[in-house]
Structure 1
């Protein structure tokens, strides 16, 4: 996989700021793979390779950020599961996504995915409001950034409506200490807090 390179500090048309911010994301189509377990597990590695192989097989480049949504054994569709625990990745439920090339159909994706080794699907992500913050540093050190993000959500009188998402602006295989990761959580007024 090539490192994601961006010429501007934007993702999904959302400006990236160092501090927490509220952002409205547009509806978009993505390629996705769902799974369970730690990022070191073979299923996770296979999912990443499959997503980028399918994108490439469909004529699109690899230079897009990988995104992952994570839940602690709960649902990826709601915030009803146990609190997320960075120290227990074996219990994680995850969804990895990359942007889908324009004009793709579920049939075209299925045909390209048949050779990928993972169940890549075409999924439409609905428009949503998120709170986001930029984390710099190792993934294992995201705890304070996630805490600051959820504190910001509470300060705004909002609630989390689903698990958090990580957008890897740098190659997730990198061991550099200053990798950049955008942390997002979907929000709505009056929802339950994590």
Structure 2
């Protein structure tokens, strides 16, 4: 009997859904693959980091498949900020793109432990993949304000304003960085139809 492939977008729908109006939501603690750096998103360093994290994600996926724990690799996420602490986390849109700091993230199923991560690293390296910069982290998400953005990544300002306005109304403050969850593949989706969840951790 073939085990059913796990799809977190189905089993944890609340994590991968948002409305076009800002709302306060609470999320749990999850394992992630992460890779961090600083540069503009069009820079080869950033594009290379995406390739690295996916190479490891698929190495882990195939290890899990062999143990009847196959899963669909989840949507890519990325935190964006500029240096100066969480209070400046929404400033990155207005500064030079090469100053943007980022942490690319791919959520993993709970079955992916640190040991499984290390096994995946070993397999990927044996195949000549440059994945040394990819980390395994357990991250608590907690309370966030989120909103679904429709359209270009360059035009997120009004969506971010919805989040900031709700935070002001609710008396909430930033405790982390601007996160984007990319629901659409920009290689296959018209710019006007892109769907991105924007999520700000708050307290």
Aligned length: 182
Alignment RMSD (CA, Å): 2.7
Which consecutive unaligned segments of at least 5 residues does structure 1 have?
A: 189-194
1:120 corresponds to 2:134: yes
Where does 1:30-179 land on structure 2 (aligned, <5 Å)? Answer: 30-59=32-61, 61=71, 63-75=73-85, 78-79=86-87, 83-86=91-94, 88-113=96-121, 115=125, 116-118=129-131, 119-174=133-188, 176=190, 177-179=192-194
Cα shift at 1:93: 0.5
Which consecutive unaligned segments of at least 5 residues does structure 2 have?
A: 1-6, 62-69
TM (normalized to structure 1)?
0.81
Cα shift at 1:112: 3.0
Secondary structure in 1 aligned to 2:47?
A: helix
Larger proportion of strand: 1
Cα shift at 1:15: 4.2
Corresponding position of 1:192: none
Larger proportion of helix: 2
Cα shift at 1:178: 1.4
